[in-house]
Amino acid sequence: METRRPTTPEAEEILGLYYPVLDHGFVSLVDYMGSDESIEHAARVSYGYGTRKRSATRGLIRYLRRHLHTTPSEMVELKFHCAMPMFVARQWVRHRTASINEYSGRYSLMPLLFYSPDAENFSLQSSVNNQGREADAAPERLYGDAIRRWQEVRASASRAYAWMVQEDVARELARIDLPLSTYTQWYWKIDLHNLLHFLTLRVDDHAQWEIQEFGRVMAGMLKRVAPLSFEAWIDYQVCGDKLSRMEIEALARLLEPTEDGGLAVRGDRDSLGFDELREMGMAPREIRELAGKIRRRKVPDFDLDLSRFRSAEDVAAEMHEAVPGNFE
């Protein structure tokens, strides 16, 4: 039966397919409600599908995003099926603006899949960021030792879990010593406004690399559902930034408007020194952050490789095989 719902061909192409993330994780766009046009209709309280040019839709969506008029974007929703290590899931649920239903280890047997970072993403503790890692990989010898120790812990936890299940220990107790590297999964439904907030934080370079990987895949799926909203988000949030009063004052001292509506460097200015910025009320860290804000930013590429998508049946088979045979 032909649907009357607003759809996008690009989203329909990937609907229900699974995109791999990390070593055993995935993201699937299970369903979506609405599109860029739905945002326009909500903003204009309009029922006239196809009555406006796409350029008008784009202009309105960019205006709404630029001025943070976010209610219309709450009319679009996306539903994902995701699998991720438990430590990533605990970061993920800090965003409390979604509907979520997680795999139950009290009811179902846990697939014994564990996350291991590859050598490139195994690093020492950052010397400048208490909650991050160094950019360079750790020595290969240390990585090998860490993998060996992780494998020992996981093998022991898996044996204990299998033994307790065989002895008919309650599943809610048998699971309690499984490590944070164990994969969990959930259905996660969120509106577009809150999804963009989530993605802004989680595709940022300061986020943990593992959750960045999930954010990048979800951004690629969003691009297929609402490409105009995606474009505005890239321009105003990902590659844009906010300015404080002092930052605006600093730029105003360097630039002035021209008669033709442009901007020009003020004739009496070619720079602002550190001390002058301090006198304007900026802390040293704020000065460093201002330098970062005006740095040219590379537009990220969130396009997904369609050849990497897997079927639901393939993913289900992998999960099933990860449940030890004596559980069946």
List, in sequence order, every beta strand (DSSP E) within the chain. Answer: 18-21, 25-33, 77-85, 99-102, 183-191, 255-257, 263-265
Structural domains for the chain? 9-115+181-240+301-327 (3.30.1360.170), 245-293 (no CATH)
pLDDT lower than 70: segments of the chain: 46-52, 325-328
pLDDT of residue 48: 57
Distance CA 36, CA 192 (A): 10
Instruction: Name which of 9, 13, 59 is nearest 229 in CA terms.
Output: 59
Query: What is this structure's pTM?
Result: 0.91
Digit-coded pLDDT (tens) for 199-210: 999 999 889 999
Q: Is 52 a catalytic residue?
A: no
pLDDT of residue 328: 44
pLDDT of residue 47: 56
Residue 263 token pair: 């901007």
76, burial (CB in 10 Å: exposed 0-12, middle 13-18, buried 19+) = buried
pLDDT of residue 3: 87
Contact (CB, 8 A) for 207 and 113: no
- Cα separations (Å) of 299 from 4, 58, 293? 35, 19, 14
Distance CA 161, CA 113 (A): 13
Candidate list 65, 175, 202, 216, residue with the active-site label: 202
Distance CA 14, CA 308 (A): 11
pLDDT of residue 325: 59
Instruction: Name which of 79, 43, 48, 76 is nearest 58 in CA terms.
Output: 43
Distance CA 174, CA 157 (A): 10
